Structures are given as C-alpha cells and as structure tokens.
Structure 1
Amino acid sequence: MKTGNLFKILFLIIAIFSVTVFSEDTKDYEKLFIEHRLELLENGIASYVGESIPKMRSLEDQVEYLQKENTILHDIIENQNKKIKTLQWATEDMKVNQLTREERDLVTELKWTIFDLKEANRELQEDACMRKTECNEWEEWSRCSVDCGKGTRIRSRGCSNTGRFSSMCKPLDIEEQSCHGSNCRFQSTLSQFDCPDGYYSFQGLCLRFSGRQDGRLHSTILCEEESSHLVFIDSAEKHEAVVEFINIVAPEYMVDMHEDFSKREYWDFHDIDQKTHVAVDGIRKHQKTYFINWKEQNMTYFNWAVGQPRNDKSDGDYCVTINVLTGEWYMKCCTVTFFYICESEERRER
C-alpha cells in the first residue's frame, strides 16, 4: 500500500473519532445550557412575583381609596341636588309671594269654587242614590238590652239600591233608642227613710251609688264632702248586702256590663274593668303587701278572685274593686276611674 493512502486512512479514522467525541460533549453542553436557562427562568419568575405582590397591594389600596372618594363625591352630588331643589322651592315661593293681593284673592276664590263644585256634585250623586233606594217597612223594636235600668233597643229594615250611584249613599236601615228595664228584683227593698239625702237604706246600711266614674282620690274626696266614706266591707254578711245593692242600682248606670267583649275588634283590660267593676274601700299603699281601710286599719276580710291580689311590689297604689257579675274582689290601679259606692254612718232624725 502506498504511503499517501495510508495517511488518508489514518486521517479518516482520526476524524471519525473526533466527531464522535465532539458529539457527546455537545449533548452534555446542551443539557447544562437548558438546565441553566430553566434556573434563570425560575429565578426570573420568582423575582417578578415578588415585585408584583407589593404593586398589587398598592393597586388594591388605590381602588379602595377611589371607592371612598366616589362615595364622598356621591354624597356631595346628593347634597347639591337637595340644595338645588330647595332653591327651586324657594324660587317658587318667591314667585307666589310676588303675586298681587288681587291675584291671591282670585286663586283663593277659584279654590273655593272648585270645592263648592265638588260638594255639589257629591250631594247630587247622594240625592240620585237615595231616589233609587227602596226600603221595606221597619221591623218591631227589639227587647231592651237590660232587664233593670237604662238600656237601648233597636229595629231594622231591609234596603236595596240598583242605581248608578249606589255606593254614594247609605240608607238608614237601623234605628236605636233608649229604653228602661223595669224587671228589677229588689227595687222594692230600697228606701230613703232614715238615711241622708241621696242615700238608700238597705239592710241596715246607708249607701249611695256614684253614678259616675272617678279615681280613688277624687271618689274619696266626694264621699267625704257628704260626711261619708267609700263603703268598707269587713264581713261576709256586709259583702252580700253590698253586692245585692249593686245588683239593684248598677244596671241603670253600667249599661254595658253584660256586653260580649269577644265580639269586639279591639278592646283593652281597663275598658272591660271600667264596665264591670265597682270600687269599694281598701287600698294597698306604695310597695306595701297589706291593705288598709279608710281608718288606716289593716283589713282582715277579703273575697278575692283566683290569682288576686298580685303579690308583687310594683310602684303605685292599688285599690279594691268588686266585679259586679261575679261578686269577686280584684286589685286595680287607683288612678283608673270606676263607679263607686259611698257609705254614710249618719242617720236622719225621725
């Protein structure tokens, strides 16, 4: 083999070997280069995030500040609008005040004319309604609402209206008048034979039913002006006599005591009490737990209803009342007005 060919073969072998080694070094370099680029990218992202967080917080603060400024600006605009309306009203008032006296009188006259026309129109419609209304004959009067004393009775009739203005009038279809119940069981037992004027003699007592409602203080004064006092009940016998006296005279004044309160749309306990209770002697002073009579003596006889008296120590004075329907005693606030009974110790000279 020639020397030149030998050198060519050797050179070719060396070149192939060098290319193989260089190829492997290039792969390692590319791997290191990629890893380095990834590390730089990660550091860049971390750095960017670290720088962005404060900026985002700053932007949030700016947004919050702008929202507050917007709220303040909205309030300012609203106040300005109110001032503008006020100025408009003031301007209108000034325009009205600038009217001459004759113009104001003319405006007033026109208003009254309009009012008169409306009233005339309403009256015409009512008249047209009544002309188209037909009513039946009155029914018989009902029985008196009470058996004894002053009460009421009613009668009714049917009415119909088919006219154009049927809603503009209400025909009289119910009439009411006062009446007096004469079925008083014990009326014959009352007399004024040996009692002062205005007092009835009843089972050895001189009693007067008030006929009006007053508070404890006023009723006491009125009784004392007649040299008497609120009736003091100290025994079962006297209690029965007082209750019987109430049954005789109360219906004439307490005309609503038999009312069915369940049919009312609205009522309160004071209203019911005033229609069904009569005050007698007996008072529990401020935050005390015992009752005394008009002589400042402790009371020993009672006829309390179930749950009475209340054992609290609330403020104010509380007085004794009798439920005229049951005869039971109740503790009521002394400022509430009730019918009451005065008792006189005096006797008329025969």
Structure 2
Amino acid sequence: MVGIILCCVLFIVVEGSVGWFYAVRSFIRNSTNFFQVKHLDYDSLVGWINKPNIHLTNVFGQGKDITINEDRHRITEQTDIYSSIQVVCSGDSFTFGSGVGDFDTWCSLLHANGWNTFNFGQDGYGMDQMYLRYQRDAEHIPHSIHIMAIIDDDVERMLTPFFIGLYGKPFFQIENGILTNINYPVRQNLGLPTWLFHMRVALSELHLSTAIDRSMSRFKSITIHFQSKQKKMKEQLTEQILTQIYKTSKKRNASFFLVLLPIYAGSSYQTEYVSHYREKSKILNETASKNGFNVIDVGEEMFRMDSEIYASFFLQPSDLHNSKLGNIFIARIVSETIKKQMLENTP
C-alpha cells in the first residue's frame, strides 16, 4: 500500500500540475467540441453526413453560422445556375469550413469567379468517404470541375473502419486488384467509447505517457514490420481511390483537381512538418502524373510566406482549421491554377 502511494506521489511530482491541467483541458475540450453533432446524421454508406435543411446560428462565433440545404450540402453563394461553371468541392472539415461562416469557406469564395459551387466537405472524412459521397451524391449534379482537397490525415483515415474509435466508416481493401468496400452497411457507434478515446488523447499529452511509450522499444522490430505493411497498403489504397475518383469525374465530363492543404504544426515543429508534408506531396504528385490529373499544392504556396502570415492562415492555437484569411488564400490559389489550366486547354 505504501509503495502504491509513493508511486502516485512520484507520478504527480514528475508530471507536474501544469501537465495535468493541459491533459484535463484537452479531455474536456475534445469530448465536447470534436464534432458539431447538431448538424450530423448517420449514413450507412459513408458513416455520417449533414442533416438536411438546418440552420445553426453563431456556431463558430458571432455571425458564423452553419446552414445545410435540402441536399445536405453546406450552402455557398450562388449565381445564375444556367449561365455559370458548376464546381463540386469534396473534402473534410477544411473544405466544409469549420471555424468560419457559410460564405467564407474557400469553396464558397470560388463564387467570385462567377462559378456555382457545391460544398461536399464533411467533418472527419477520409479520402475513401470523399470518393463514395462524390460517386453517389454528385451523379445528378451537372458540373465541369471536381475539386478534392485533402490534408495528411485524410490518407491515414482510410486505414481503419472507424473514426477516432467511435464513428463507423467505410473500409476499403484491394481484393484481386479490385477496390472493395468491406464495411457496408456501416454500423453506428463502432469502436471505443468517446470518453475512453479522449482520455487516451489527454494522457498522451503527459510526459510520463511518452516515457512509457519509449519503454516499449523492445517491440521495435514488430512495429517496423507493421508500419512497412501499413505504408504499402496506404500507397495502394491512395492510388486506387484517386484513380477511381479521376475516372468517375472524367465520366461526368468534369476536370479533376487534387488540392493539397497544409496544417498548422506550431512554430517549434514547422521545419519538421514542412519536410513531412513534402514527402507526402511527392507521392501524391507521382500518382497524379501517372494517372493524368492535376495537383494544386497550396502548402508550397503557403510555405513561401513569412511565418506570421502563415500562422494567420489558421485559427491557432485553439483551432487548427483555416481562418477566413486562410480560406481566401486557398480560394485564390485554386482559382488561379484552374483558370490557367482552362486557358491552356482553350483551342
């Protein structure tokens, strides 16, 4: 009993009250705010999707509303539907526009070109879900451009049949060279309880957790083998899914553009993050070159900016999504690249 008490005291002393404060804060914040669940519905194909016809006021601050139309898309500014270029925007919460109002998402801001846009962005989506939703829900939308914007995590999310250990999602495997969704219909509330997942996230911020992880180094060879298999599977899935998205877009007479978005890693880790980002973008560029579709590398454009300007593109430190300024920048880079491509293709 004395030994247990001493261990507990030692833990508190080593870790410090500051570490506990941040861990508990993270636990509370993540448990309550991770999903804006008021606008989400269960979906048997993609796991979750927007509820239709809802309007939530001041979700992200004064005047920053979420409005979802009857087709379950977040609304965007529209022009005359019959005299405009139609654009479908696929993506995760960075496309949905978490943190900004309806008309300040980069997808809606493309309206400045005289384009009509349809925001298919959805919180927490991986590339697999983006593909399935575009395949199913964009079939009856006439469009000549399909933009899919991704961050690193969207590739990683393809590797599990659930999201954050709680939400069931599609799961693809390659069987005899064929891309197959083996998790349909998606079950609801699959995986770990929410509180357990978020407690693990909170504890991961404690220094002692890092020490425990390091003590597991004797399993290093097993880990390396697993990571090697996972890396191969990730590359195969990425290529197959991007190829299918490109083919589906082409079948619908839409030009496909893959947009690479960076995140804010914090000033202390920015150098390491940029290196990691470029390693990932190189693989995606090779896949694009092999299959003949276009890549718009927003990250490289942002990295050229001064560190303070770069930071202003995000809602950091409380939220790592893009700020209004970040969405404006993304819309500008995407617009310029697409218009240049359209000009080059004009006879």
Relative to the length of structure 2, the TM-score reads 0.25
Relative to the length of structure 1, the TM-score reads 0.25
Higher relative contact order (CA 8 A, sep 6+): 2
Asked which structure has the greater CA Rg, the reply is 1
